[in-house]
Amino acid sequence: MTKTPYKVVSVIYELRADNSGGDVIEKVTKEKPAEFLLGAGKIIDEFENQVSNLNKGDNFDFQIESDKAYGPVKEEAKVQLPITAFQIDGKIPDDLLQPGKVLPMKDQQGNPLYGRVVEVAEDKVLMDFNHPLAGINLHFSGEVLSTREPTQTEVENKKIDGEGEENISN
Protein backbone atom coordinates (compact mmCIF):
# COMPACT_ATOMS: atom_id res chain seq x y z
CA MET A 1 0.00 0.00 0.00
CA THR A 2 1.43 3.39 -0.87
CA LYS A 3 1.34 6.14 1.71
CA THR A 4 -1.66 8.39 1.11
CA PRO A 5 -3.42 10.67 3.57
CA TYR A 6 -6.05 8.05 4.48
CA LYS A 7 -6.40 4.28 4.13
CA VAL A 8 -8.60 1.74 5.87
CA VAL A 9 -6.49 -1.16 7.14
CA SER A 10 -7.60 -4.42 8.73
CA VAL A 11 -5.05 -6.40 10.76
CA ILE A 12 -4.70 -9.29 13.14
CA TYR A 13 -1.95 -9.20 15.73
CA GLU A 14 -0.53 -10.40 18.99
CA LEU A 15 0.59 -7.71 21.40
CA ARG A 16 3.19 -8.65 24.00
CA ALA A 17 4.83 -6.70 26.81
CA ASP A 18 8.46 -5.74 26.18
CA ASN A 19 9.50 -8.21 23.44
CA SER A 20 8.48 -11.26 21.41
CA GLY A 21 8.82 -13.44 24.52
CA GLY A 22 6.88 -11.14 26.85
CA ASP A 23 3.46 -11.68 28.37
CA VAL A 24 0.56 -11.55 25.92
CA ILE A 25 -1.44 -8.37 26.46
CA GLU A 26 -3.91 -8.76 23.60
CA LYS A 27 -4.57 -11.10 20.72
CA VAL A 28 -6.69 -9.91 17.78
CA THR A 29 -7.90 -12.74 15.52
CA LYS A 30 -9.51 -13.09 12.09
CA GLU A 31 -12.90 -13.49 13.77
CA LYS A 32 -12.73 -9.89 14.96
CA PRO A 33 -9.82 -8.10 13.28
CA ALA A 34 -8.72 -4.58 14.18
CA GLU A 35 -9.77 -2.11 11.50
CA PHE A 36 -8.69 1.51 11.53
CA LEU A 37 -8.33 4.60 9.39
CA LEU A 38 -4.68 5.44 8.77
CA GLY A 39 -4.10 9.18 8.91
CA ALA A 40 -6.96 9.94 11.29
CA GLY A 41 -4.72 10.29 14.35
CA LYS A 42 -6.65 7.74 16.40
CA ILE A 43 -3.98 5.08 16.80
CA ILE A 44 -0.45 5.13 18.16
CA ASP A 45 1.66 7.10 15.67
CA GLU A 46 4.48 4.57 15.63
CA PHE A 47 2.06 1.68 14.96
CA GLU A 48 0.66 3.65 12.03
CA ASN A 49 4.18 4.36 10.74
CA GLN A 50 5.05 0.66 10.88
CA VAL A 51 1.99 -0.58 8.95
CA SER A 52 1.37 2.35 6.58
CA ASN A 53 3.38 0.89 3.68
CA LEU A 54 2.23 -2.70 4.10
CA ASN A 55 -0.11 -4.53 1.73
CA LYS A 56 -2.69 -7.28 2.10
CA GLY A 57 -0.94 -10.48 3.21
CA ASP A 58 2.16 -8.71 4.56
CA ASN A 59 3.38 -9.79 7.98
CA PHE A 60 4.78 -7.42 10.57
CA ASP A 61 6.88 -7.77 13.69
CA PHE A 62 8.07 -4.66 15.53
CA GLN A 63 8.51 -3.09 18.94
CA ILE A 64 7.35 0.31 20.09
CA GLU A 65 9.23 1.83 23.01
CA SER A 66 6.97 3.04 25.82
CA ASP A 67 7.83 6.69 25.21
CA LYS A 68 6.41 6.35 21.66
CA ALA A 69 3.36 4.40 22.86
CA TYR A 70 1.60 5.41 26.08
CA GLY A 71 4.52 7.16 27.72
CA PRO A 72 6.11 6.63 31.10
CA VAL A 73 4.22 6.05 34.33
CA LYS A 74 3.58 9.50 35.79
CA GLU A 75 3.45 9.73 39.55
CA GLU A 76 1.30 12.88 39.28
CA ALA A 77 -1.39 10.73 37.62
CA LYS A 78 -1.83 8.92 40.94
CA VAL A 79 -4.32 10.93 42.95
CA GLN A 80 -5.86 10.74 46.42
CA LEU A 81 -9.61 11.38 46.27
CA PRO A 82 -12.05 11.68 49.15
CA ILE A 83 -14.04 8.50 49.56
CA THR A 84 -17.22 10.59 49.42
CA ALA A 85 -16.53 11.20 45.70
CA PHE A 86 -17.60 7.60 45.08
CA GLN A 87 -21.00 7.83 46.73
CA ILE A 88 -24.06 6.95 44.70
CA ASP A 89 -27.32 8.11 46.27
CA GLY A 90 -25.43 8.79 49.51
CA LYS A 91 -23.86 5.31 49.71
CA ILE A 92 -20.80 3.59 48.30
CA PRO A 93 -21.71 0.30 46.61
CA ASP A 94 -20.01 -2.65 48.33
CA ASP A 95 -18.15 -3.90 45.26
CA LEU A 96 -17.16 -0.50 43.81
CA LEU A 97 -13.85 0.25 45.52
CA GLN A 98 -11.86 -2.93 44.97
CA PRO A 99 -8.08 -2.56 44.38
CA GLY A 100 -7.34 -3.16 40.70
CA LYS A 101 -10.85 -2.26 39.56
CA VAL A 102 -11.02 0.31 36.77
CA LEU A 103 -13.72 2.93 37.16
CA PRO A 104 -15.16 5.34 34.61
CA MET A 105 -14.80 8.90 35.90
CA LYS A 106 -14.67 12.50 34.66
CA ASP A 107 -11.98 15.13 34.99
CA GLN A 108 -12.63 18.68 36.22
CA GLN A 109 -13.72 19.72 32.71
CA GLY A 110 -16.20 16.83 32.45
CA ASN A 111 -14.08 14.76 30.04
CA PRO A 112 -14.37 10.99 30.48
CA LEU A 113 -11.36 9.10 31.83
CA TYR A 114 -10.64 5.85 33.58
CA GLY A 115 -8.91 5.34 36.89
CA ARG A 116 -7.67 2.19 38.59
CA VAL A 117 -8.31 1.79 42.29
CA VAL A 118 -4.92 1.33 43.96
CA GLU A 119 -5.69 1.58 47.67
CA VAL A 120 -8.75 2.27 49.80
CA ALA A 121 -8.48 3.90 53.22
CA GLU A 122 -11.21 4.93 55.64
CA ASP A 123 -11.65 8.42 54.19
CA LYS A 124 -9.70 8.41 50.90
CA VAL A 125 -9.02 6.39 47.78
CA LEU A 126 -5.75 6.30 45.83
CA MET A 127 -6.56 6.25 42.10
CA ASP A 128 -4.12 5.73 39.22
CA PHE A 129 -5.07 7.59 36.03
CA ASN A 130 -2.06 6.40 34.00
CA HIS A 131 -2.92 4.44 30.85
CA PRO A 132 -2.75 0.72 31.77
CA LEU A 133 0.11 0.28 29.27
CA ALA A 134 2.12 3.31 30.41
CA GLY A 135 5.77 2.43 30.96
CA ILE A 136 5.54 -0.77 28.90
CA ASN A 137 7.35 -1.39 25.63
CA LEU A 138 4.93 -2.93 23.13
CA HIS A 139 5.80 -5.76 20.74
CA PHE A 140 3.39 -6.36 17.85
CA SER A 141 3.44 -9.29 15.44
CA GLY A 142 0.70 -9.91 12.93
CA GLU A 143 -0.63 -9.70 9.41
CA VAL A 144 -2.43 -7.17 7.22
CA LEU A 145 -5.73 -8.76 6.17
CA SER A 146 -6.92 -6.00 3.86
CA THR A 147 -6.51 -2.40 2.80
CA ARG A 148 -8.94 -0.14 0.97
CA GLU A 149 -9.63 3.45 0.16
CA PRO A 150 -11.95 5.11 2.71
CA THR A 151 -15.35 6.47 1.80
CA GLN A 152 -15.83 10.23 1.72
CA THR A 153 -17.89 9.97 4.91
CA GLU A 154 -15.09 8.08 6.66
CA VAL A 155 -12.60 10.77 5.68
CA GLU A 156 -14.93 13.58 6.81
CA ASN A 157 -15.69 11.89 10.15
CA LYS A 158 -12.14 10.54 10.55
CA LYS A 159 -13.52 7.17 11.54
CA ILE A 160 -14.60 3.99 9.81
CA ASP A 161 -18.33 3.70 9.10
CA GLY A 162 -19.98 1.75 11.89
CA GLU A 163 -16.83 1.88 13.97
CA GLY A 164 -16.86 1.76 17.74
CA GLU A 165 -13.69 2.24 19.75
CA GLU A 166 -10.40 1.75 17.98
CA ASN A 167 -7.90 -0.87 19.01
CA ILE A 168 -4.35 0.44 19.32
CA SER A 169 -5.79 3.81 20.24
CA ASN A 170 -3.99 6.85 21.52
The answer to whether domain 7-70+133-157 and domain 75-128 are alike in fold is no
Kindly give, in sequence order, each residue whose CB lies less than 8 Å from that of residue 6, ignoring residues fewer than 6 positions away. 37, 38, 39, 40, 149, 150, 154, 155
Give the whole-angstrom CA distance, residue 19 versus residue 137: 7
Structurally, what CATH architecture does the domain formed by 7-70+133-157 represent?
Roll (3.10)
Structurally, what CATH architecture does the domain formed by 75-128 represent?
Beta Barrel (2.40)
Nearest CA to 7 among 39, 41, 34, 35? 39
Provide the 3-class DSSP secondary structure of residue 132. Answer: coil
Give the whole-angstrom CA distance, residue 170 versus residue 167: 9
pLDDT score of 163: 53
- Report DSSP letters for 74-97, one per residue: -GGGEEEEEGGGG-BTTB--TTTS
164 vs 32, which has greater pLDDT? 32
pLDDT exceeds 50 at position 167: no
pLDDT exceeds 50 at position 72: yes
Taking residues 145-160, what's their average pLDDT?
90
pLDDT exceeds 90 at position 117: yes
Q: Where are the domains of the chain?
A: 7-70+133-157, 75-128
Confidence of residue 168 (pLDDT cuts 50, 70, 90): low
pLDDT score of 147: 94
Kindly give, in sequence order, each residue whose CB lies less than 8 Å from that of residue 44, ignoring residues fewer than 6 positions away. 64, 68, 69, 70, 138, 168, 169, 170
pLDDT score of 5: 80
pLDDT score of 32: 95
